[in-house]
Amino acid sequence: MIAGLAVLATAAPAMAAVTARGAVPDDNPRAGWLDRYAEVRQGPEQTDRVSQSFKVGADGSLDLTGISGDVRVTGGGGTEITVEATKRVRHRDADQARRLLNDLRVDMTHVGSRVEVRTIYPRNRGERGISARVDYVVSVPAGTAVAVKSISGNVLVTSVRGEVRAETVSGDVEVSATPNVAVAKTISGNVTARDIGSANMLSLGTVSGTVIATGLKVRALDAGSVSGDVRISGVQIERVEARSVSGNIEFDSPLSKGGRYEFTSHSGDVRIALVGTTGFELDADTFSGSVRSDLPVTLRGIGQPGDRRRGTSNRAIRGSYGDGSAVLSVRSHSGSVVITRSTR
């Protein structure tokens, strides 16, 4: 899926390659300074606001594709999807800016209970010195299925009960208070998931950024970053696969009986802080770091059979703790591995 976003990014007009502001600009203390700097370099901002509502019932669907700009979707009551789009253009020539603003289109299509929104940039507008973006603020009935894709901008989805798919290329993705998230991904940015669930597998991913998952109640989680950390805490999950190439992995949560948990980092540390008393089968190793368990693990393959050791530090530990009802697999090439008791 991330590869698909990359292809979409290369196909975008050059004028879309602008720096994304925060999902809630007023919360960004740098926003005022950045606006003044942009005005000096590119001229004053020209804006136009478009708003439209569509009656879809309690469980319709929204499919929104942006190019440059932030997207915020909030679930609530009612039976209508309301889309507010703010077009923003900068150019040192005010007349040219107004023409560009007029040519920058927001297409909205309503068929039955489905609403599609598309940002359409004017052709042959890739000259230098232009800044153009469309920010979206959307309210939907709580049961709406939401799919958002963007190239340059942050994506925020909250309080939506329908299935959610949130993706961008350059920007942060945040999903919260949403019980049925399928995908939250970016290429350059952070991914934050708070108090969410998923009907099937939840996929959280970034290439350059950090993945943060808290308060999740999902059956299975796939979380990964190439050059950032993966942090998972306060979750209830039966199956986890978390990986990072150059970042650390942190897991601070209980294990489920019969669950499977796999953590892999190439050059980062892996720290597993366990809540509760669920036992597990442990298979942990590192190439150039150390493995330490602060829990009394009955060892296999290291030490004498039947040994119970606490604070064991080796490059590999294989054994069981308690009833061994969960499976815990931990790998790091050049980092250290620690299994300990949570302080939560």
Whether residue 118 is found in the same domain as residue 246: no
The answer to whether position 10 is within a domain reads no
The answer to whether position 17 is within a domain reads no
The answer to whether position 34 is within a domain reads no
pTM of the predicted model as reported, rounded to 2 decimal places: 0.84
The answer to whether position 54 is within a domain reads yes
Whether residue 86 is found in the same domain as residue 224: no
The answer to whether position 62 is within a domain reads yes
- Give the integer Cα–Cα distance in Å for 233 and 245: 20
Q: List pLDDT tens digits, range 238-282.
A: 999 999 999 999 999 999 999 999 999 999 999 999 999 999 999
- Give the integer Cα–Cα distance in Å for 140 and 60: 9
What per-residue confidence (pLDDT) applies to 309?
47
- One-letter identity of residue 209: G
b/e code 5-44 from CB counts within 10 Å (16+ = b): beebbeebbebbebebbbbeeeeeeeeeeeeeebeeebbe
Whether residue 202 is found in the same domain as residue 327: yes
Whether residue 224 is found in the same domain as residue 320: yes
Evaluate if residue 75 carries a pLDDT over 90. yes
Whether residue 146 is found in the same domain as residue 254: no
The answer to whether position 338 is within a domain reads yes
Q: List pLDDT tens digits, range 76-95.
A: 999 999 999 999 998 888 88
Whether residue 214 is found in the same domain as residue 287: yes
Evaluate if residue 306 carries a pLDDT over 50. no
The parent domain of residue 146 ranges over 46-122+132-153
102 contacts: CB under 8 Å, gap ≥ 6: 48
Question: Which of 20-29, 268-277, 284-293 shows the lowest mean pLDDT across its residues?
Answer: 20-29
The answer to whether position 117 is within a domain reads yes
Whether residue 140 is found in the same domain as residue 57: yes
The answer to whether position 240 is within a domain reads yes
How many domains does the chain contain in total? 2
Q: Which ranges constitute the DSSP H helices of the chain?
A: 2-10, 31-42, 94-103
Task: Identify which has the larger pLDDT, 63 or 46.
Answer: 63
Whether residue 198 is found in the same domain as residue 108: no
Whether residue 148 is found in the same domain as residue 54: yes
pLDDT confidence of 10, banded at 50, 70, 90? Answer: very low
pLDDT confidence of 11, banded at 50, 70, 90? Answer: very low
Question: Which of 46-60, 95-109, 151-165 shows the lowest mean pLDDT across its residues?
Answer: 95-109
